[in-house]
Structure 1
Amino acid sequence: MTPSEKPQRYRRLQAVLAARMAQQVLRVWRDLMNPAKVDASWPAVRAALIPIVQHAREQSAALAGSTYMDARRNAGVAGNNFDPSGPLPLMLRRLEAALDVTGPVEFKKAIAAGKSPEQAMESAAVRLVGSTQYLALEGGRQAMQRSIEADGQAMGWARVTDADPCAWCAMLASRGPVYKSAKTAGDARRGGNTYHDHCACQAWPAFTNDEPFIGIAEGLYDDWLRETRGRGGKHAVNAFRRWWESEGRAAYAAPERP
């Protein structure tokens, strides 16, 4: 496996982990949730979901830690006395609140909007999967980001996307490697370590000041410069988003575009 393939392999492994957890979440939701007795059935559903999310978050963090150390060794970084950082603790009340909002609350909102119980169950399922995947993958994302920040040998990170990112993630990936010492004031793409529900992105460490762009990021950088020329701030963001949604996304999905 070439060095350029390893970031994408790591992203795919995290995606597989999230997909497997999503299957478990959906199974619990569909087996235990009674749409005719939402409030009565929800406590058992939530109790079953909590350890599933916590376990997936631990797996994501462990994968990030081992991957970080592999990337560090492969980069030829001297010294083996660095231990990767773990994620911040996931507070139970935060997890419970996320489950409540994307489970029964979302179901009731869908019913109030005129959806059938079956449609409301599916609407809530989509939200529930997105929220739980975010919290699970946050374990790995935080472990990677905190390791980079704590490691004096790490220069920064790059955002690794899949082949079909949203406009926001494509914009952030277009920055390429983001160095810890870089000044991002005035750059509308700052905040490259932020993620959203159903997001497929991951961070990859950079150990030199001349790291290559990863995946589609180099093409996105050229596109960003072209589409935002003469614009700044939110005007640049909006211009890039309009281009991405009208033609950019389709161009990157086409077979002839790497």
Structure 2
Amino acid sequence: MLTEAHRLAQSAIGRAVLAELGEDLLSDAVVDLALEARGKSDAVAARYYAAFRQAEGIADGFVLGEADPLAPATARERIADAANRFGQGPGEVVRVVLGGGRDRLARSLGADSRAIGWQRVCSSSCCSFCAMLAGRGAVYRSARAAGDGRGYHRSCACTVEPVFRRGTPLPARSQVFADLYDEAGSFDAFKVAFRERAEA
């Protein structure tokens, strides 16, 4: 519940930015909007991580890592590259924005000796690759391996969830994806089964 609420809050931040985009994705106004929203994403992730630790019964005075600001020139460069090379400028804006929270989670894991791993959490409308990663569960030793930072594709609404105890069950949606993958037996077969399930 907590992780899904966090994923939905992050997704809402991305959607709000998309709704305000103008024609010129490289304008100062768009870059400022993206970086302001990135700060909101970071703050939401910081509150989520603290609440998740508390829900897991971990109260040891852990302090979250500091925010890692993204320079306006770097944000503009990423957006321009995605727009010029792939025609996916708006998707890159979302990735820049949600990178604030994703980077916060990665820094927190790096500083948190109690976290033993991460699992990817995705929406019901995710792609087959994200679904496969989510179905693997808490096999990731870092947020980056679970898809942190630029490891997310453009417009991706996935997030990661820290794991503090061995044997932590998969989120319900991830368990559905794990079962589907087990039945399929390979990623190629999984992609077909996933597509059929989505079209049903």
Q: TM class by shorter-chain length?
A: 0.7 to 0.9
- State the Cα distance separating 1:17 from its structure 2 match: 0.7
- State the Cα distance separating 1:164 from its structure 2 match: 1.9
Counterpart check, 1:157 vs 2:118: yes
Counterpart check, 1:64 vs 2:82: no
- State the Cα distance separating 1:6 from its structure 2 match: 1.7
1:195-214 equivalent positions in 2, closer than 5 A: 195-214=152-171
1:122-137 equivalent positions in 2, closer than 5 A: 124=87, 127-137=88-98
Counterpart in 1 of 2:78? 98
Counterpart check, 1:55 vs 2:41: no
In 2: Cα distance, 1:158 partner to 1:179 partner: 6
Counterpart in 2 of 1:240? 187
- Choose the corresponding residue for 2:128, options 167, 190, 193: 167
CA contact (8 A) 1:46 1:99 kept: no
Counterpart check, 1:16 vs 2:9: no
Residue deviations 1:74-110, cap 9 Å, x none? Answer: 110132x21112453313332121232344x36xx9x
- State the Cα distance separating 1:200 from its structure 2 match: 1.0
In 1: Cα distance, 2:44 partner to 2:196 partner: 32
Where in structure 1 are there 5+ consecutive unaligned residues? 34-41, 110-123, 182-189, 229-238
- State the Cα distance separating 1:145 from its structure 2 match: 1.9
Where in structure 2 are there 5+ consecutive unaligned residues? none
- State the Cα distance separating 1:250 from its structure 2 match: 3.7
- State the Cα distance separating 1:72 from its structure 2 match: 0.5
Counterpart in 2 of 1:251? 197
Letter in 2 for 1:251: R
Letter in 2 for 1:217: S
Letter in 1 for 2:77: A
- State the Cα distance separating 1:18 from its structure 2 match: 0.5
- State the Cα distance separating 1:152 from its structure 2 match: 1.0
CA contact (8 A) 1:65 1:86 kept: no
SS of 1:137's equivalent? helix
Letter in 2 for 1:62: A
- State the Cα distance separating 1:137 from its structure 2 match: 0.4
CA contact (8 A) 1:149 1:156 kept: no
CA contact (8 A) 1:160 1:215 kept: no
- Shift of the 75–11 alpha-carbon distance from structure 1 to 2, 3 Å rule, reads same
In 1: Cα distance, 2:172 partner to 2:37 partner: 26
- State the Cα distance separating 1:157 from its structure 2 match: 1.6
The structure number with the bigger radius of gyration is: 1
Under a length normalisation based on structure 1, what TM-score does the superposition of the two structures give? 0.68
In 2: Cα distance, 1:241 partner to 1:84 partner: 39
Under a length normalisation based on structure 2, what TM-score does the superposition of the two structures give? 0.87
SS of 2:172's equivalent? coil
In 2: Cα distance, 1:166 partner to 1:60 partner: 22
In 2: Cα distance, 1:15 partner to 1:243 partner: 26
Aligned residues: 196
SS of 1:216's equivalent? helix
SS of 2:118's equivalent? strand
Counterpart in 2 of 1:88? 68
